[in-house]
Amino acid sequence: MNRSTSPPPNPFSDSPSLSPAPTPPPPHAHTGNSRPASPSSGIPSSVGSPSSIAGHLKKPSSLISAASGSPPPTHRASFPDPSKLPRNSSGNLTINGPKVKTGYCCEKDKEIALGEEVHIVDAFKTTEGGKASYITYVIQLGTHTTRRRYSAFLSLHQALTGLYPVLIIPPIPSKQSLTDYAVKGQTKAKEDATVIARRKRLLEDFLRRVLRHPILGGEHIVHRFLEDGVSWNEVLHSPPISLLPKNPLHAPSHNPTFQPASPTSDQPSASTAAGGGSTSTSYIAHHLLPTPSPSHPLKKPDQRFIDSEVFTEKFQNHFTGTMEKVNRRVTKRWTERAGDMSELGAVWNGFSLVEQGKLGEAVEKVGQAVDQEYLATAALLQAWERTTTEPLHIYSQFASLIRQRLSFRHQKHVQYELVQEALETQKDKLELLENAEREARRLEEALERGGRGLSSSTSASQFDSPPVTATQPQPEENRYQQEERRARTSTSTGQGFGLLSAVKHSLSGMMDVDPEATRRANIGKTRDNISQLEDSLQASAQDLKYASTTLQADLDRFQRQKVADLRNLAIQLSKVHREWCKQNLEAWQAAQAAISEIDNHPNQPPAQAQPAQQDTLGGPSTSEQTTSSTMGMGNMRSEIERVEAANKPLPLPERDEVDTPFDENEEEENQGKGKEKAKEKEGPLGPL
């Protein structure tokens, strides 16, 4: 893989950049910025002069908006630094971007540079400026406030995307889904307090990320958005937003709003004078660039950006398909648990009204602990939404935006290869035509040399024959006969072949009646095509180099920001859980203290009869339990042996004579059994 020998320009202070540097062709024409007026499907085989595209040029809008109150800044915020940009052999810059912004363009820019934080302090419903109600958001920067609705945020995001096609623009919250409108209705869906609170936080996050960006934070359009008393609708219809092309692939990556003052002049318009200047030649060069498909393969891809595309796809799938899915399932179960704890707390509180005394107080404390756990869980879910769910969704949107930027850079690379291929094709065609022209000239010269020899021999033969003098009169009748015969021949030919002559005349107009003139015209047209394709190739090479350099620098910045955000996400999630545990611990410790105040069970032995020595858990130690169990087993065994040695029957339970008298038959049976047992014990010598 080819890489530039010298490091490319680095937009950020600590972002290494190793962007590819396609080798542009030798400078054939002017290079610079351009802006297309209409998309082109590909490189045409024949292109017209600048005057042929004059009808496509759009007249620049007024630079000063009546509602805005001030013109756009003279210098746009941009990446290139002229002192660090690489130069070619002739000393010209290889990337002609807008001039670097110096100083502050307005008071808002100064406040942002001094570190003022932006906040959305309120959101309320209003009908200002129309009949239908809408939600307006109050934005505060420093001591100044302004109000914007959601559609203004959306148009700002679209404007930044068009002005900076190779930067990673922070995402904004999506619109309401059709499901929300179908379930809640249009009015309720727009006025849902939960949706408004979430959107307010996400819009504030969008503004903060934009202002912290090293390039977007200096964009004057953002400053106008934060300025009170400025009509945003007028800003949208004023330069530079009004000069954005319909297709960003047909405009310079570093200055999409370029527009020449006239189709034939080499001076840039006033709207692009701050952008470093460009010519209509470069405008035509960008206008002729093809519009490739995002899936078009590359012949010589850059492995670094292929790895970035693969990593971004995995990153998006992991966040969207795994983390967000599991996070939704976990929060759903936490929500269900909070609902169950709410019901359980109500049951315990109701039970505390039945009991009295210390038991009732203990039951009430348990119910309060359950209620406290419900409240802590509800607070946990709210903090979880802010610290985990919303950042995960934001980074899922970031992954989608990065894939779009990588796709744009891929299309720029495809443009470069397509133009290069078309240029090689035209050069091959020109070589064939020039070879044919040289061969035709050689044959023509050979025929001329052969014709001169033939004419000299003819003149010699005429010199040998008797000459016919011009003064010699021809017979009058012969001259009249020749004219009459010529007239009859032309008349008969016209009468017999009139239709054939008309067809022949039509075909002569359609066919190449002069191959030499046609070949020379094709040579001139092919040379014009090559000249314009070289201009397009030079412009495409600059676009690819700038897009690769800028996008890689912004990817490096985003990677550092992502690491910091994910670290903060993990810390905040742990703090949320720790706070939840702390609140629950305090509530359950209070319940435990109330439970310990309840009197012991009356059937329990008094506290004095309990073993004096207990372990830390409040029960007898292991050695004491072993000793007591051993002594108990020994006493039981000795008692059994003593009873067996005495040969005494076990005492029968006492019975009430009235309630349970012994039956006489039972007494006789018992006496009979006793005599039988006595006989069994008697031996041959008598009773033992």
626-645 pLDDT tens trace? 455 445 556 666 766 775 66
Longest alpha-carbon distance in the chain? 201
What average pLDDT does range 50-75 have in this prediction? Answer: 39
pLDDT at 16: 37
Asked if the model's pLDDT at residue 74 lies above 50, the reply is: no
> What is the C-alpha separation between 272 and 283, in angstroms, rounded?
12
Residue 110 CB neighbour total at 10 angstroms: 14
In SS3 terms, 432-445 reads as: HHHHHHHHHHHHHH
pLDDT at 203: 96
Nearest Cα to Cα of residue 536 among 54, 31, 51:
31
For the chain, give percent helix, strand, coil, nearest 5: 60, 5, 35
More reliable by pLDDT, 561 or 30: 561
Under 8 Å between Cβ of 204 and 121: no
451-468 pLDDT tens trace? 565 455 555 444 444 444
Asked if the model's pLDDT at residue 57 lies above 50, the reply is: no
Strand order in the sheet with 118-126: 118-126, 134-141, 144-149
| pTM of the predicted model as reported, rounded to 2 decimal places | 0.67
The pair of three-digit structure tokens given for residue 215, joined into one six-digit string: 């390039």
Q: What angle do CA 281, 283, 288 make, to 5 degrees?
A: 95
More reliable by pLDDT, 66 or 139: 139
Alpha-carbon distances of 260 from 7, 32, 178, 473, 572, rounded to whole Å: 32, 11, 44, 75, 52
pLDDT at 187: 53
Q: What is the CA radius of gyration of the chain?
A: 49
> What is the C-alpha separation between 404 and 166, in angstroms, rounded?
9
> pLDDT above 90 covers what percent of the chain?
39
Residues 6+ apart with CB under 8 A from 555: 168, 308, 402
Nearest Cα to Cα of residue 545 among 1, 169, 80:
80
pLDDT at 254: 86
pLDDT at 70: 40
Under 8 Å between Cβ of 135 and 191: yes
> What is the C-alpha separation between 245 and 340, in angstroms, rounded?
57
Alpha-carbon distances of 672 from 651, 660, 665, 666, rounded to whole Å: 19, 22, 10, 10
Nearest Cα to Cα of residue 108 among 135, 73, 151:
73
Enumerate the H helices of 465-514 as residue ranges. 476-496, 498-510
Residues 6+ apart with CB under 8 A from 646: none
In SS3 terms, 523-579 reads as: HHHHHHHHHHHHHHHHHHHHHHHHHHHHHHHHHHHHHHHHHHHHHHHHHHHHHHHHH
Per-residue confidence band for 121, with pLDDT thresholds at 50, 70 and 90: very high
Per-residue confidence band for 379, with pLDDT thresholds at 50, 70 and 90: very high
The pair of three-digit structure tokens given for residue 519, joined into one six-digit string: 């070949």
> What is the C-alpha separation between 346 and 359, in angstroms, rounded?
17
Enumerate the H helices of 114-236 as residue ranges. 150-163, 178-184, 186-190, 193-212, 220-225, 232-236
> What is the C-alpha separation between 282 and 280, in angstroms, rounded?
5
Per-residue confidence band for 599, with pLDDT thresholds at 50, 70 and 90: confident
Mean of the per-residue pLDDT values for the chain? 73
The backbone region for 323, taken as left when phi is positive above 0, alpha when psi lies in -120 to 50, beta otherwise, is alpha
> pLDDT above 70 covers what percent of the chain?
58
226-238 pLDDT tens trace? 999 899 999 999 9
How far is Cα of residue 243 from the mean position of the Cα atoms in its chain?
Answer: 25
Asked if the model's pLDDT at residue 619 lies above 80, the reply is: no
Asked if the model's pLDDT at residue 494 lies above 60, the reply is: no
Asked if the model's pLDDT at residue 152 lies above 70, the reply is: yes
- In eight-state DSSP terms, residue 388 is I
Per-residue confidence band for 52, with pLDDT thresholds at 50, 70 and 90: very low
Under 8 Å between Cβ of 263 and 57: yes
Under 8 Å between Cβ of 351 and 363: yes
Nearest Cα to Cα of residue 594 among 361, 418, 289:
361
The residues with which 145 forms a beta bridge, in sequence order, are 140
Asked if the model's pLDDT at residue 273 lies above 50, the reply is: no
The pair of three-digit structure tokens given for residue 531, joined into one six-digit string: 């000249």
For strand 682-683 and strand 686-687, is the pairing parallel, antiparallel, or unpaired?
Answer: antiparallel
More reliable by pLDDT, 405 or 100: 405
pLDDT at 259: 73
> What is the C-alpha separation between 456 and 454, in angstroms, rounded?
5
pLDDT at 374: 95
**Would you list the DSSP string of 238-259?**
STTGGG--S-GGGS-SS-TT--
**Would you list the DSSP string of 157-183?**
HHHHHHH-TTS-PPP-PPPPPHHHHHH
